[in-house]
Amino acid sequence: MVDANGGLVLRLTVALTALVVLLVCTTVVTRGWRRRRERARTAAEAVARPLILAALDAENSAAESESASASESGSGSGSGNALAPNPPQVSPRVGRYLDSMASAMAGKLRGGDRAALVELLRRRGSVDRALRHCRSVFTGRRLRAVELVGSLGLVEAVPELAARLDDPDDEVRRAAVRALGRTAAPDAVPALLALLDAPQRRESEHYITLALLRMGPPAVEQLTAALRTHGPNGRRAAAKVLGWLGEPHAAGPLQAALDDAEPAVRSAVVEALGRIGLPAPAPAMRELLRSDQPSPVRVAAAVALGRLGDPRSAEALAGLLTEPHLLARSAASALALLGPAGLTVLRAHAHVPEVGEVLIGRADAELPDLVTTAGGRS
C-alpha cells in the first residue's frame, strides 16, 4: 500500500512539474513573440510614417506653389497634383501599417491633406484592394476594408458599402453605416433610410440618423425627397435630420408633410420646423393643436410654436392650458416664449398649476409679481 501511494505521489509530482515547465515555456515564448511583434510594428511604423508625412508635405508644397504662381501671374493656374512620383515599394507588413495609419489620419483631416492621403493609397493600390475586400468571405477582412474606405470618404465606395448594410456580421453592418455617413454622398441617403423600414431591421435608428446627420447639407435634397417616398420610419428619420441640420430650404417640403398619415411623422415634421425657425409654417402648425390630433402631435406643435415665437399663436396655445398635464405644460412653456402676448395669457391663467410651474422654474426677472402670485397658488 505504501509503495502504491508512493508511486502515485511520484507520478503526480512529475505531472505537476511538467505542467509548471510547460507554463513557464509558454510564458517565455509568448513574451518573446510579443516583443518581436512590437519591434516589427515599430520598424514598420518608422518606414510608413515618413511616407505619409511626405505625401502631406507634397500637398502643402503644391498648394503653396500654386498660390505663389497665381499671385505672380494672376492666372490662378497650377498643376493641381499633390503627389509627384509614385511611392516606393514596401513590404506587406509596412504596407498594412501604412494603410492603417493613413486611414486613421484621413478620418481627422479635410481638404487637400485628406486628398493627399487618398492619392497615396490609390497609387499603392490600397483603395482598389479595399474595394475588392469589401466582398471578402472573411469577416475581419471585410471589416477592415469597410473601415478603410469609410475613413477616406470615398464616394465611389457607396455601392460596396450599401451592399454591406445586409452583411451577416453586426460589426461590418455598423461600420458600413458609419462609412456611408463619412462619404457625404447623397446616393447613400436612400439606402440608409430604407434600413429603418426593413422587415427585419438590425441597426438602431440612432446609428442611422447620426450617419445621415454627418453627411450635412449634401444630403438635404435626398432627405426632402424621402418625406414623400419612404416608409413611415424613414420619413420620420428624414424629418428629424432636416430639423437638426436647420436647413431653411427644407421648410417648404416639411410644411407639405404636415398632413402625413402617420402621427409619428407629423410630430417629427413639426419639431423640425420649430428647429428651423421660419415663421411661415406657423398657421398650419396651429391647426395641429386641435383636439382631433393625437396628443404627441399636439405636444410637438406646442413646443415648435414656442420656438417660432409668433405672438399670433398665443390664443391657440391658451386653449391647451386646461388639457392634461403634459400638453398644458408644453403650452405654458411655449407661451412664456411669445413675449407680451404670451405674458398676457399667462397672467390670465395664473391659477393653472402648469403655468405656476413654468413661471417659477424660469424665475423670470421681468415677471416678479406673476411669479409671486403663481408661487402662492401652487
Does residue 78 lie within any of the structural domains?
no
Phi then psi dihedrals of residue 169, to 5 deg: -95, 135
CA 81, CA 162: separation in Å to the nearest integer? 31
Q: Could you read off the pLDDT of 322-349 as tens digits, one per residue? A: 999 999 999 999 999 998 999 889 888 9
- Asked, for residue 129, whether it belongs to a domain, the answer is yes
> Can you tell me the distance from the alpha carbon of 49 to that of 7, in angstroms, rounded to the nearest whole number?
62
Of the candidates 147, 152, 154, which has an alpha carbon nearest to the alpha carbon of residue 106? Answer: 152
pLDDT band at 374 (very low <50, low <70, confident <90, very high): very low
Question: Does the pLDDT value for residue 358 go beyond 60?
Answer: yes
Residue 318 lies in a domain: no
Q: Take residue 258 and report the three cell numbers written for it.
A: 404636415
353 occurs within a structural domain: no
Beta carbons of 347 and 370 less than 8 angstroms apart: yes
pLDDT tens per residue across span 159-193: 999 999 999 999 999 999 999 999 889 999 999 99
Calculate ∠ Cα 113-118-119, nearest 5°: 95
- Residue in 193, 178, 182 with CA at minimum distance from that of residue 223: 193
Q: What confidence score (pLDDT) does residue 115 get?
A: 81
Helix (H, G, I), strand (E, B) or coil at 200: coil
Cβ density class 158-193: b for 16+ within 10 Å, e for less? bebbbebbebeeeebbbbbbbbbbbbebbebbbbbb
- Range(s) of the domain holding residue 50: 43-56+92-183
Contacts of 213 (CB under 8 A, 6+ apart): 181, 241, 244, 245
Q: What is residue 46's predicted lDDT score, i.e. its pLDDT?
A: 66
At residue 126 the predicted structure's pLDDT band, cuts being 50, 70 and 90, is: confident
Angstrom CA distances, 360 to 261, 311, 331, 353, 374, stand at 38, 22, 15, 11, 7
Rounded Cα distance, 290 and 182, in Å: 41
Crossing angle (nearest 10°) for helices 368-377 and 353-362: 130
- Is there a domain that residue 16 lies in? no
Distance set, CA 170 to CA 139, 205, 210, 365 (Å): 10, 15, 17, 53
Q: Is 220 or 98 the better-scoring residue by pLDDT? A: 220
Q: How far apart (Å, rounded) are the C-alpha atoms in residues 214 and 185?
A: 11
DSSP type of residue 248: G
Q: For 34-86, write each residue's pLDDT tens digit.
A: 887 777 667 666 666 777 777 677 665 555 555 555 445 544 444 444 444 55
Angle CA 215–113–55, to nearest 5 = 140
Separation between Cα atoms, residue 269 and residue 257, nearest integer Å: 7
- Express each pLDDT in 258-313 by its tens digit: 999 999 999 999 999 999 999 999 999 999 999 999 999 999 999 999 999 999 99
Query: What is the torsional sign of CA 11, 15, 20, 24?
Result: positive
Predicted TM-score of the model (pTM): 0.74
Residue 25 lies in a domain: no
Q: Is residue 310 part of a domain?
A: no
378 and 360 Cβ atoms separated by less than 8 Å: yes
Residue 30 grid cell: 509568448
Residue 187 corresponds to which amino acid? D
Instruction: Provide the CATH number for the domain around residue 126.
Output: 1.25.10.10
Average pLDDT of the chain is 82
pLDDT over threshold 50, residue 206: yes
Task: List the grid coordinates of 219.
Answer: 444630403
Asked whether residue 258 is domain-assigned, the answer is no
Binning the chain into helix, strand and coil, the percentages to the nearest 5 are 75, 0, 25
Backbone angles phi, psi at 365, to 5 degrees: -65, -20
Backbone angles phi, psi at 104, to 5 degrees: -65, -40
Amino acid at 169: D
Q: Is the pLDDT score of 366 beyond 50?
A: no
- At residue 221, the pLDDT reads 94
Decide which of 257 and 367 is more confident.
Answer: 257
Cβ atoms 242, 224 nearer than 8 A: yes
Structurally, the chain folds into a number of domains equal to: 1
| Residue with the larger pLDDT of the pair 25 and 300 | 300
